[in-house]
Amino acid sequence: MNAPILSLCGIQQTYTSRNASGWGSTRVRAVDGIDLDVFEGETLAIVGESGSGKSTLAKLLLMLTSPTSGKALFNGKDFASLDGELRHQFRREVQAVFQDPASSLNPRMTIEKTLRFIVKRHALRSATDIRPFLADCLMRVGLNPPERYLERYPHELSGGQQQRVAIARAMMMAPKVIVADEPLSSLDVSVQAQILDLMKSLRTLTNVGFVVISHDLGAMHSIADRTAVMYRGRIVEIGENIYTHPRHPYTKLLLDARLTADPTRGRIRSMASAPSMPTLAATPNGCRFRPRCHYAVALCETADPMLRPMPIGQTQVACHRAEELSRHFEIPGGGQRAPSTGDSLKA
Ligand code: SF4
C-alpha cells in the first residue's frame, strides 16, 4: 500500500464540559489517543454510537481543530508546521461533505453561483471554461441535464440532489480524500443507496478516497474497505472484515443491534436491549467497555486494553479476550459457528 495521505498519531482532543448541576466543569476526552492512517483510493468507515468521538475525529482529519496533544500529518508532514502553499494543497486535496446538505449550501445563491465562486477563488478554470466545467461536474454526480440544476436555489432541490451538489462541489477540487460526516443520515433510505452508489462510482472513476463517519453499519458494510469502530474516544477494532468476523464485544453488540428483521430468529433486534453508553466524563478503570461487557474478567478491571494486531487477518482489536471471543461470535449469514449469546464464555 502507498504512504498514507493523512495520519493521526497519538491524537487526543479534550473539551471542558459544564456539569449538569451548573456548578463546576469536567474535562472530557472526546478523542483519546488514536493512531490512524488514511490512504488514497480507499473507503474507510468510522462507526460507533453518538458520543463515541466520530465527529471530533472527522474534524481532526479535516484539520478544523487543533488536537490537545498528538500529531496530525498530511503526506507525512506535521500539519502544524505546514507553510501556506502546503496548507493550500491540503485544502484542495482533502475535502469535506457534511451531514445536512441544505445548511452547507448558501440559500441565497443559485447552484451555479455557489460553484462558480469556488472555481474563481481557486482559479480552477478560465472565465470561458467555467460553465462547461460546472455542467460536467453536475453530470458526474448524476444531475442531468445540468442546466436544470445550475439555475435553481438549494430549497428547490430534494435532499438527495442537495447532497449530490455538495459532493460535486468537493469533487471540483480533484481531491485525494473526501471526509464525509454522516452524509446519509438526513436522507431517505432509497436515496441513501443512490448516494452510496455515487460514492462507489466516483471512487472507481477518479480513485478518490472516502472517510465516511456513520452510525449505519449496514450502509458502511456495502462500501467500506476498512472499518474503524469507535467507543468513548478510542478505536476498539479496525479491519476489513469486522462485519462478518467481529472480534470486539462492542462490534458484536453494534452488529446485533442493527434494527434488522432477523430471518433466522424471526424477531427484531434493537439497540434498546443493550445497556447504554455511560457519559464520557465517567470513564471506568481498566477497559472502558467493561460496564457493558458480558465477557469481562478480573483483568479487564485493572488493565486498559490497547489496540493490537490479531494473528489472523488485517484486524487490530483492543480487548484482552479478542482471540478467544472472536471464535464464538456469530453473525447471521457471516458463516461463523457458535451460540450468538456467547453464554458459555460469559465471565
Ligand atoms: Fe470486555 Fe474485557 Fe474485552 Fe473489555 S477487555 S471488551 S471488558 S472482555
What is the 140 CA–ligand 1 centroid distance (Å)?
46
**Distance between CA atoms of 32 and 13, rounded to whole angstroms?**
7
pLDDT of residue 134: 97
Please enumerate, as own/partner, the contacts of 61-67 that have beta carbons within 8 Å and a separation of 24 or more: 61/6, 61/8, 61/94, 61/179, 61/211, 62/94, 62/96, 62/179, 63/90, 63/94, 65/13, 67/8, 67/11, 67/12, 67/13, 67/31
**Distance between CA atoms of 255 and 333, rounded to whole angstroms?**
12
- Ligand 1 binding pocket includes 295 (Cβ within 6 Å): yes
**Distance between CA atoms of 112 and 311, rounded to whole angstroms?**
53
Tell which atom from ligand 1 comes closest to the C-alpha of 300.
2
What is the 267 CA–ligand 1 centroid distance (Å)?
28
Q: Which of 149, 227, 158, 217 minimizes the C-alpha distance to 191?
A: 158
- Ligand 1 binding pocket includes 321 (Cβ within 6 Å): yes
**Verdict on whether the full-model pTM lies above 0.85:** yes
pLDDT of residue 269: 40
- Ligand 1 binding pocket includes 319 (Cβ within 6 Å): yes
- Ligand 1 binding pocket includes 293 (Cβ within 6 Å): yes
What is the 168 CA–ligand 1 centroid distance (Å)?
43
Tens-binned pLDDT, residue by residue, of the chain (347 aa): 688 999 999 999 998 877 767 777 788 889 999 999 999 999 999 999 998 999 999 999 999 999 999 999 999 999 999 889 999 999 999 999 998 888 889 999 999 999 999 999 999 999 999 999 999 999 999 999 999 999 999 999 999 999 999 999 999 999 999 999 999 988 998 899 999 999 999 999 999 999 999 999 999 999 999 999 999 999 999 999 999 999 999 999 999 887 454 444 433 343 434 455 555 556 788 999 999 999 999 999 999 999 999 988 789 999 999 999 988 886 655 433 333 344 445 55
Pocket test for ligand 1, best of 247, 250, 300 (most atoms within 8 A of CB): 300
pLDDT of residue 94: 97
pLDDT of residue 277: 59
Task: Count Cβ neighbours within 10 Å for each residue of 241-258 and write b for 16 or more, e otherwise.
Answer: ebbebbbbbbbbbbbbbe
What is the 295 CA–ligand 1 centroid distance (Å)?
6
Pocket test for ligand 1, best of 248, 252, 321 (most atoms within 8 A of CB): 321
Tell which atom from ligand 1 comes closest to the C-alpha of 347.
8
